Amino acid sequence: MQKVKALVLLSGGLDSMLAAKILMEQGIEVVGLSFKSCFFGTDKAKKVAEQLGIKLIEIDFSKEHLAMLKSPAHGYGKNMNPCIDCHGLMLKKAKKIMEENLFDFVATGEVLGQRPMSQHRDALKIVEKIAGLTGKLVRPMSAKLLDESEPEKLGKINREKLLDISGRSRDRQLELVKKYNILEYSKPGGGCVLTDPTFSKKLIKMFEYWPDCNENDIAVLKNGRNFWFNALSNNKILAIIGREKEDNENLLKLKQSNDVIIELADFAGPISLIRAKNFKLEVINKIQEIDVPEEIDISKLKFDEEKSFEEILKIVALLTSYYVVKARGKRVNVITN
């Protein structure tokens, strides 16, 4: 008899890990599938796959995911998380992999009622429909509370050995952790930056100012302090000022040909990146002297007022210097390149 094969979406969280274990307990061959976008990665899923001793397929769908995020058909959750459309997009790709590689079915770690937007009964059905997996998607954690899937009807899975978990309590999951002797697992949440309210506000503004923003723009947005300037002809310019060494390193890696970098010549401190989308940034003075005040009232810098690029450069140079505490009250050299 040919062994049953399941393609299981692994987020790196506990629920998807348990879903895989439940299927493996039935002798089903499990392969993990994880996705990378501008907003989440596959690192946690790699650790889970290693713990489970299974193969992991990794898919980078950053471009498609970003395009969907700008106008999700089913809207956003509490922040900028379009969970229904995101899951639908993942499962649509999972279906293709399932068909090409002769898996018997696709499974996820979704729990009925655990998340208010994406895991109520109607949402689960919508996701199946988007993906073209109606009746062919198995959710082992809540299967007994859902309609019987085709793999169950065909005897590829024993429905009696699937579970009936619902709601937000984690008690049943923690019992399974003990049962399966799972020593390491991720706590709920934290995997997708789109659920973070602070980052969501930054992203909303970027979508408003730069509707054509790309993956590199999103990566830049994740670093340091963000300042938007209203340049001449109503062009929006973004300045990012690093908060720590990692920000500085990331900004230098992400720099593109039209970007401008500002840093202090004589003090260790933040690096700033300035980016425009619709016109070329021209730098005339490579080194300038800045008198750094002891105190700055940020609100008086009037970012919304239309400014020339030269004025914007001076403000960013001033802020870059000001965020170096040792430079306050001194005259410093600032390098622009």
CATH number at residue 98: 3.40.50.620
Residues 85 and 142 occupy one common structural domain: yes
**Helix H or strand E segment including 2:** none
Residue type, 295: E
User: Do residues 39 and 192 touch, judged by C-beta distance below 8 A?
Assistant: yes
User: Do residues 209 and 298 touch, judged by C-beta distance below 8 A?
Assistant: no
Residues 89 and 223 occupy one common structural domain: no
Q: Name the packing angle between helices 171-179 and 14-25 (round to 10°).
A: 50
Domain end (from 193, 213, 229): 193
Strands (E), the chain: 5-9, 29-36, 56-60, 105-107, 137-138, 225-230, 236-241, 260-264, 272-276, 287-291, 331-336
The per-residue DSSP string of 78-102 comes to SSS--HHHHHHHHHHHHHHHHHHTT
Q: What is the pLDDT of residue 107?
A: 98
Tokens 């400014």 map to which residue? 307
Tell me which residue of 241, 206, 218, 226 sits closest to 40, measured CA to CA.
218
Residues 157 and 214 occupy one common structural domain: no
Tokens of 307: 């400014």
Q: What is the pLDDT of residue 245?
A: 95
CA distance 27 to 169: 28
Q: What is the pLDDT of residue 50?
A: 97
Strands (E), 163-259: 225-230, 236-241
CA distance 270 to 273: 10
Side-chain half-sphere CA neighbours of 96 within 13 A: 7
Dihedral angle sign, alpha carbons of residues 268, 243, 188, 33: negative
Contacts for 120 with CB less than 8 Å, ≥ 6 apart: 112, 113
Residues 119 and 84 occupy one common structural domain: yes
Residues 148 and 12 occupy one common structural domain: yes
pLDDT by position in tens, the chain (length 337): 689 999 999 999 999 999 999 999 999 999 999 999 999 999 999 999 999 999 999 999 999 999 999 999 999 999 999 999 999 999 999 999 999 999 999 999 999 999 887 899 999 999 999 999 999 999 999 999 999 999 999 999 999 999 999 999 999 999 999 999 998 898 776 579 999 999 999 999 999 999 999 999 999 999 999 999 999 888 999 999 999 999 999 999 999 999 999 999 989 999 999 999 988 887 766 888 999 999 999 888 988 899 999 899 999 999 999 999 999 999 999 999 8
CA distance 69 to 207: 10
Q: What is the pLDDT of residue 284?
A: 64
Residues 186 and 236 occupy one common structural domain: no
Residues 285 and 317 occupy one common structural domain: yes
Residues 229 and 134 occupy one common structural domain: no
Residues 208 and 330 occupy one common structural domain: yes
Predicted structure pTM score: 0.91
Residue type, 32: G
Q: What is the pLDDT of residue 285?
A: 63
Residues 17 and 82 occupy one common structural domain: yes
Residue type, 293: P
Q: What is the pLDDT of residue 190?
A: 58
Query: What are the beta bridge partners of residue 332?
Result: 290
User: Do residues 35 and 66 touch, judged by C-beta distance below 8 A?
Assistant: no
Give the three-class secondary structure for 89: helix
Tokens of 143: 């299967």
Residues 65 and 93 occupy one common structural domain: yes
Phi, psi values for residue 268, rounded to 5°: -75, 135
Domain end (from 193, 218, 241): 193
Residues 68 and 182 occupy one common structural domain: yes
Report how far apart, in Å, the C-alpha atoms of 314 and of each of 145, 310, 337 are: 62, 6, 13
Q: What is the pLDDT of residue 116?
A: 80
Domain end (from 170, 193, 216): 193
CA distance 125 to 143: 13
Residues of the domain holding 235: 196-336
Q: Number of folded domains in the chain?
A: 2
Q: What is the pLDDT of residue 151?
A: 97
User: Do residues 201 and 209 touch, judged by C-beta distance below 8 A?
Assistant: no
Q: What is the pLDDT of residue 326?
A: 93
